[in-house]
Structures are given as C-alpha cells and as structure tokens.
Amino acid sequence: MSEENDQLWFETSLGKYLYEYEQRYFDQAVANIFGYNAAQVGMPKFNFLRTNRMPLKFCAGTCAGVVLHARPDFIPIESSSMDLVLLPHVLEFNENPHQILREVHRTLRPEGHIIISGFNPLSLWGTRCHFEKNKKDFPWRGNFIALPRLKDWLKLLDFEMTEGRLACYTPPFGREKWRKRFDFMEAAGDRWWPISGGVYFLQAVKHMHGMHIIKPGWKNALAGKKRMAAATQGCNENKSKESDK
C-alpha cells in the first residue's frame, strides 16, 4: 500500500505544485519520441505518456492500476524491445536503483530513450528531507540521488545524456500562501542557483558499441589483378606483332 499512499501525497498542496511541473515536463519530453513501445514504471495514477504517439503504451509496477504487474528491478519484458521507458521517482524509493537501470538498459532497443525524474538532495527539498522528523512519509523517506552520481551510473551503462533540467526552486512549504511568497526564487532559479532545483529531469539514449568490420583489401587486390591483366595483354600483343614480322 505504500506506493498507493505515495500517489495520494500528490493530492496535497505541495504535491499538486510538484505534479504540475512533472506533467508539463513529461508532456513536452515524450511528444516527439517515436517508435512502437513505451512504458512508464510506477505512478499509474498519472499518465505521463499521454502526449506520446506510440501504438503500445502501458504502465508497469507493483501497485493497483498498472497494466503489467512487475517489480522495477525485474521487468518481464523482452530484451531490446522498448523504445521509451519513463522512471518518475522510481530510483530513490527502491533498494537497488542500479539494478533498475540495468533492467531498463536490457529492455531498451539500441537508440531507445530513458527519462528520469528525481528529487535533488542538493536543494531545499533535500535539506528538508535531512531534517524531517517523520521519515516514513513521501517523499522524505526516499534516498535522494545526486544528479552527478546518476549521470555516472548512466555512463557506465553506455547511456548518452541528451537533455536535462531542474525545477521547483521555491522552498517545499506545505501551505501555498508561503510558497507564493517565494515565487521570485522560481523565476530566478535557473539563472542564480541552477543546481538547486528541488526536482531534476534527465533524458538519455542507449548506445551499443557495434563491431568494427575489418574489410579485406579487395579493392587493392582487384586493382592489382587489373594491372597484371593489362600487362599480360600488352605482352601478348607485342609477341603477336613480332611473330607477324
């Protein structure tokens, strides 16, 4: 039931504030990614794939409402079959985020896309998480992953980062009236403290190191044969002329 309760948090004032940013970003990010198969892992209450036009889109996870009931670190999907996988706040709330990334890498086809959202520990959200008394509540019970560390994990799996951004610079106050007093931080965040957004989004593409085919020197061999044939023909012609004399 914990995952269902996590989704209920998005009905709070702070949760709605975050959800608006998340939905807006995913709507823009997935709209122009093409292919056949797309999956969202977790949070089935929210359709972050709604603007994508792939013929097969589904949500996988362990709570009610998913199409495919599966753990994120062991997804029963054929290898190299997915074109897009979304991980909205999945990594920081699982014990083995490395295995989740490896599993996504396995299911993605070459040049397939992964899009991740996560809470930034180097932010006011991360500060509140550190001092929060009730560690059992979402999102403060999560193990926030620093963005540089996540990038390193992706690079080890041969993912290439293609795009990213941070958002939610205002303090994570529960009451809207307090957040509105700090709206100026949202407007100036990207300019003055770009690494301190409460939430980050990261897009990456899976690359596969293909075999480098070493071609034999057919062209050189053919050129040599042509020169030899021409020389032989010339000799034969000279012999023919001498015999005629």
Per-residue pLDDT band for 196 (boundaries 50, 70, 90) equals: confident
Distance CA 86, CA 11 (A): 21
pLDDT digits (tens, 9 = 90+) for 197-243: 999 999 999 997 654 444 455 445 445 555 555 545 555 555 555 55
**Can you tell me the distance from the alpha carbon of 75 to that of 63, in angstroms, rounded to the nearest whole number?**
14
Residues whose CB falls within 8 Å of the CB of residue 19, separated by 6 or more in sequence, listed in order: 10, 46
Distance CA 100, CA 98 (A): 5
Q: What is the mean pLDDT of residues 77-102?
A: 96
Contact (CB, 8 A) for 83 and 114: no
| The pLDDT value given to residue 215 | 47
pLDDT for 208 equals 79
Q: What is the mean pLDDT of residues 14-41?
A: 96
Q: Which CATH architecture has domain 2-206?
A: 3-Layer(aba) Sandwich (3.40)
- Name the least confident of 4-8, 9-13, 14-18, 41-45: 4-8
Domain boundaries, the chain: 2-206
The residue-averaged pLDDT of 47-52 equals 97
Average pLDDT value over all residues in the chain = 86
